[in-house]
Structures are given as C-alpha cells and as structure tokens.
Structure 1
C-alpha cells in the first residue's frame, strides 16, 4: 500500500474531477511548484495508484441507451471453468465490467447496448455462448442514480 499524504490525496481528488487539468493549474491548486507536482504525479503513476487517463463518453450519444446487469451462474465452479469464462469475457467487447462475486451466483456482468433487441442478440449470441454458462438473470436499468463516482481519497 502506498503511503499517501494530504497533497497526494488532493492531487488524486482533483484528477478524478478533471483528468485534463493542466499541470500548472494542478500545482497551483495543491500549493506546490509544477516540478514537485510533476514528481508526485510520476510517482503515483509508477506505483500504480494512477492507472491511466481516459475520456468519459456519453453512452446515449453513441446509441447505447440500455444499461444491463446480468447475474451469471456457471455449470461448475472449478479453477479451469473460472479461467475459461474469465478469458472469454475479457474478449467480449460488449462487456463493460465483469466481477466474480460471492453469493447465489458466480459473476456479475455489466453491459451497455442500443436497446432490448440488441441485448437479446448479445445474450443469445455472446453471453450464453461463453464457456461454462449455465444460467443468467437479467436486470435492465430503469434509471442511473449514480455512476462513475470518484473514489474517496
């Protein structure tokens, strides 16, 4: 675990708000010189605290209106089946997130598609075809209350 001081945490909070914040402005807002701020940024990246930067896109403007969560139960819970499923789901471009969970099912999958017809195609042609899938339960999102919130630093 990386030891983060108050300034590191402030840098992380500011970058979660705006990852394109100019270095000079970031330095001003944390009260350090641009050189010191740059050194901290490089350290945070090298240590893996900052994993990268990306643009957040509006899925609706891209025609991806429907957000769906899917519970996936596998036919067997062996290391080999877990490995094959995980490898296959990593290659599925429609899958935004996939988490192995404890409880009444094995994985929780998050996907975004154009509409219910597109989801039906994804379910039948992609998800159910993944190795080891025995059963799924689908939850279509009616309203996104909070998504992509910043981590509490």
Structure 2
C-alpha cells in the first residue's frame, strides 16, 4: 500500500478506538460512502496496515497482578540458538511483548502472571531450563503510568 491517506488515517484511528464500529458508522464518521469505506478498510487489512482485531483486556480484572520487565542476555548467540529461544518465547503466554535491542541485555520482555508463584514457575521451568540463557534480571512493575495499544497515525 502506498502512503496512508488522510481517510486511511481516520479509519485506522477510529478502528483503534473501537473495532466494533460498523462499516456504516465508519463511513458516516469519515464522510465516505459505505462502499468506499469498505474498500479502504479491506485494503488496509490486505496490505497489513491492519493486521488483526482484538479485545483489550484489563490485566487486573483478568487476575494478572504480577507484572515485570524481564531482561535476558543469552550465553550463546548463534543463529540456531537464537531462533530456538525466540520460538519458545513466542509460545509462552506469560510473555506479552519481547524486544531485541542493541547493547546489553539481548532481550526485554513484558511478563504478566497471576502472582509471584506463577512468575517463579515461569522462571524455573522456562528461563532457568534454557542452557542458552546466560543472565536474567527482573524489574517488578509497581505502577502503570501509561499503557496503550493505539499507534499515533
């Protein structure tokens, strides 16, 4: 898809706010006809600008009271080891986000669990068991200042 148009940006902003809006509601709010609106949304989906739709769940209401930023440095960084580690991270439901960054440590993960016991199980059964994991540090999140999933389009 070429550069986003103003209409595309308006659609993306509205859908980020409430993805349950009907096509007619989107069209009305953006000043487009329903058919043009439908084609624009479809194009945004097909080109991957909109990759999926999801419900945003409140972690406290879902019982996820333990939140931490976990920093992992790998002891070995050959391609096969990194690939295996990242695949395993991708399968862990406790890991909501994982970022590879420059410098040290190698990976930063947002981890959410019910409580400290759940985190200890995650640590013992996953991180501690990976021979490629060299060092782990954890910073407990004591207060959420800002948490949003809307991109500034």
Q: Determine if the TM-score, normalized by the shorter chain, exceeds 0.5.
A: yes
Q: Over aligned residues, Cα RMSD in angstroms? A: 1.3
Q: More deviation in 91-100 or 11-20?
A: 91-100
Aligned to 1:108: 108
Aligned to 2:142: 142
Aligned to 2:38: 38
Aligned to 1:121: 121
Aligned to 1:81: 81
**Secondary structure at the residue paired with 1:56?**
coil
Which consecutive unaligned segments of at least 5 residues does structure 2 have?
none
Q: Tell me how far apart the structure 1 counterparts of residues 62 and 16 of structure 2 sit (CA, whole Å).
A: 23
1:67–1:113 contact (8 Å) kept in structure 2: yes
**Secondary structure at the residue paired with 1:81?**
helix
Aligned to 1:72: 72
| TM-score calculated relative to the size of structure 2 | 0.94
Following superposition, the deviation at residue 101 of structure 1 comes to 1.2
Aligned to 2:98: 98
Q: Tell me how far apart the structure 2 counterparts of residues 76 and 139 of structure 1 sit (CA, whole Å).
A: 23
Aligned to 2:16: 16
Following superposition, the deviation at residue 20 of structure 1 comes to 0.9
Q: Tell me how far apart the structure 2 counterparts of residues 96 and 2 of structure 1 sit (CA, whole Å).
A: 30
Structure 1 runs (4+) deviating above 3 angstroms are none
Q: Tell me how far apart the structure 2 counterparts of residues 147 and 127 of structure 1 sit (CA, whole Å).
A: 26
Aligned to 2:152: 152
Aligned residues, how many?
153
| TM-score calculated relative to the size of structure 1 | 0.94
**Secondary structure at the residue paired with 1:138?**
strand
